[in-house]
């Protein structure tokens, strides 16, 4: 293009044209269009439409670009520059064609990255041992210095953003793991995270790690047969796969959980082998969140008593661990705890339940002897509700934020009155130091005190006859 404009800068002309208030155009220096012109399912030709503007981070510049998409209504699929989406199940997939031989990588959002930049970081990561934080500072500083050398200040003013290490690292991981997956597997597509938040990214890691580890071991254990190494000296053997050379490495030290009792069971070690927990501990704590919750759950009862326990049981087990995004309860430490609990109907409502499961499996007196269950007052929640009703005038005018604090203190004072600290000042440090660790996020999360109905649920958790759950 520059040959046609000998006396002008073509890029500058285009920037002035697209930024002009009198010009109606979506034109930008870079247009990111769908990786395919036809639907992958029905092979019908697709119409391309403008989607949004994005910031494109290159090796030595940040410029404005346009993202275009295409939609196949018949198949319910939406196509982007480097991935496509199955609309009905709300999942994203990459294909070899969408990843390989592409100049830019875009996985959603307002940012895209040149393949040159991603490759450059990979090289810096391998040879200069740089992490994402140092790369972020180096890149942003370089861009500022590059801008000072530009003669056309309009281009300088076009984009004034900086690269963000969190966002860039997410894209780099997804890009490299997609390449790794296609490198090891002859598959037509590979699912990537729907969004770039930490939760989706960690689910993506956890869901695929076992397969990635298997692929890694399988390839590099057998590569001397399928892809033999070449020595730099023709007359010398590379020495690959001649022996197992083993050593430990603790030079890259990072904080890990202090729980040493975590073990795994393998075919060789059917009784288990202790490996410890390698998760990152919580701040100012020696244990990771999962180990903290597992430790706390050891002190909780594993019996849930509710007037409609039969329906609660069916609701939970019809959704627990399911993959349907609209009808699932995800596996978390809290839901895993509930999965190990027994569900029973309280004795007051038991006669009203006629289903076979209600008469047997959900009947607290059916599967246990009297010595096990007779000391449990299953109506304590109903009885406590009659007491809480007396606070209607005092607390009904409170805002939601104030009400939850008021009920929290009320339940604490009630617990203190009924429990062993009855004769002690409830905020005595001597007593507090002797109590169990504070429970946090162990049971299913419940929005506290936003309505009178929620109070019933809370009271059923906190109170039992003559004993309070710590």
Q: 201, exposed or middle or buried, with CB in 10 Å at 0-12, 13-18, 19+?
A: middle
Rounded Cα distance between 280 and 270, Å, is 27
Tell me the sheet residues that pair with 92. Answer: 85, 192
Report the pLDDT value the prediction gives residue 402, as an integer from 0 to 100.
Answer: 66
* Residue 25 resides in a domain: yes
Give the angle 455-458-463 at the CA atoms, nearest 5°: 120
Report the pLDDT value the prediction gives residue 186, as an integer from 0 to 100.
Answer: 92
And the tokens for 149?
């050398």
- The number of folded domains in the chain is 2
Rounded Cα distance between 214 and 275, Å, is 19
And the tokens for 351?
């006669």
Query: Which residue, 376, 391, 406, sits at the end of a domain?
Result: 376
Report the pLDDT value the prediction gives residue 95, as an integer from 0 to 100.
Answer: 96
Query: Which residue, 43, 78, 101, sits at the end of a domain?
Result: 101
* Residue 257 resides in a domain: yes
Q: State the residue range of the domain holding 301.
A: 244-279+287-376
* Residue 67 resides in a domain: yes
Query: Which residue, 376, 405, 429, sits at the end of a domain?
Result: 376
Report the pLDDT value the prediction gives residue 52, as an integer from 0 to 100.
Answer: 93
Report the pLDDT value the prediction gives residue 248, as an integer from 0 to 100.
Answer: 64
What is the block-wise mean pLDDT of the chain (470 residues), using blocks of 10 residues?
A: 55 59 65 95 94 93 93 95 95 95 95 95 87 91 82 52 91 92 92 90 89 88 75 60 67 77 79 82 80 73 88 90 75 83 88 90 77 76 81 71 68 64 46 46 36 37 34
Report the pLDDT value the prediction gives residue 353, as an integer from 0 to 100.
Answer: 92
Report the pLDDT value the prediction gives residue 252, as an integer from 0 to 100.
Answer: 59
Rounded Cα distance between 400 and 39, Å, is 51
- pTM to 2 decimal places: 0.62
- Greatest CA separation for the chain: 98
* Residue 275 resides in a domain: yes
* Residue 453 resides in a domain: no
* Residue 265 resides in a domain: yes
And the tokens for 22?
């009198």
* Residue 456 resides in a domain: no
- 298 in Cβ contact with 286 (< 8 Å): no
Rounded Cα distance between 81 and 289, Å, is 38
* Residue 367 resides in a domain: yes
């Amino acid at each position: 293009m520059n040959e046609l404009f000998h006396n002008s800068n073509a890029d500058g002309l285009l920037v002035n044209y697209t930024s002009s208030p009198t010009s109606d155009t979506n034109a930008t220096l870079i247009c990111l269009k769908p990786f395919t012109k036809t639907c992958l399912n029905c092979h019908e030709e697709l119409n391309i439409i403008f989607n949004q503007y994005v910031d494109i981070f290159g090796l030595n510049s940040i410029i404005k670009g346009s993202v275009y998409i295409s939609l196949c209504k018949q198949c319910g699929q939406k196509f982007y520059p480097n991935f496509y989406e199955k609309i009905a199940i709300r999942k994203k997939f990459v294909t070899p064609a969408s990843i390989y031989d592409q100049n830019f990588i875009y996985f959603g959002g307002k940012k895209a990255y040149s393949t040159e930049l991603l490759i450059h970081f990979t090289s810096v990561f391998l040879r200069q041992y740089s992490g994402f934080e140092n790369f972020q500072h180096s890149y942003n500083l370089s861009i500022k210095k590059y801008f000072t050398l530009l003669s056309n200040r309009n281009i300088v003013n076009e984009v004034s953003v900086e690269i963000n290490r969190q966002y860039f690292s997410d894209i780099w991981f997804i890009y490299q793991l997609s390449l790794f997956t296609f490198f090891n597997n002859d598959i037509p597509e590979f699912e990537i995270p729907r969004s770039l938040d930490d939760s989706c990214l960690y689910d993506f890691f956890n869901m695929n790690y076992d397969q990635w580890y298997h692929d890694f071991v399988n390839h590099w254990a057998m590569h001397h047969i399928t892809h033999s190494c070449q020595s730099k000296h023709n007359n010398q053997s590379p020495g690959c796969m001649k022996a197992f050379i083993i050593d430990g490495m603790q030079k890259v030290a990072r904080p890990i959980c202090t729980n040493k009792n975590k073990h795994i069971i393998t075919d060789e070690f059917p009784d288990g082998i202790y490996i410890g927990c390698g998760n990152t501990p919580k701040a100012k704590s020696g244990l990771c969140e999962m180990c903290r919750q597992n430790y706390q759950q050891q002190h909780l009862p594993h019996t849930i008593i509710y007037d409609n326990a039969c329906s609660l049981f069916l609701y939970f087990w019809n959704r627990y661990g399911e993959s349907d995004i609209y009808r699932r309860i995800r596996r978390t430490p809290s839901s895993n705890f509930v999965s190990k609990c027994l569900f029973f109907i309280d004795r007051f409502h038991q006669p009203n339940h006629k289903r076979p499961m209600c008469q047997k499996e959900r009947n607290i007196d059916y599967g246990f002897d009297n010595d096990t269950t007779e000391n449990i007052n299953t109506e304590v929640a109903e009885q406590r509700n009659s007491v809480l009703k007396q606070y209607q005038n005092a607390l009904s005018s409170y805002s939601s934020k104030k009400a939850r604090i008021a009920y929290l203190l009320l339940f604490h004072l009630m617990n203190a009155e009924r429990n062993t600290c009855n004769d002690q000042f409830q905020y005595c440090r001597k007593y507090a130091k002797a109590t169990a660790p504070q429970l946090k996020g162990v049971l299913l999360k419940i929005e506290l005190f936003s309505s009178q109905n929620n109070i019933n649920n809370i009271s059923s958790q906190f109170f039992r006859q003559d004993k309070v759950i710590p």
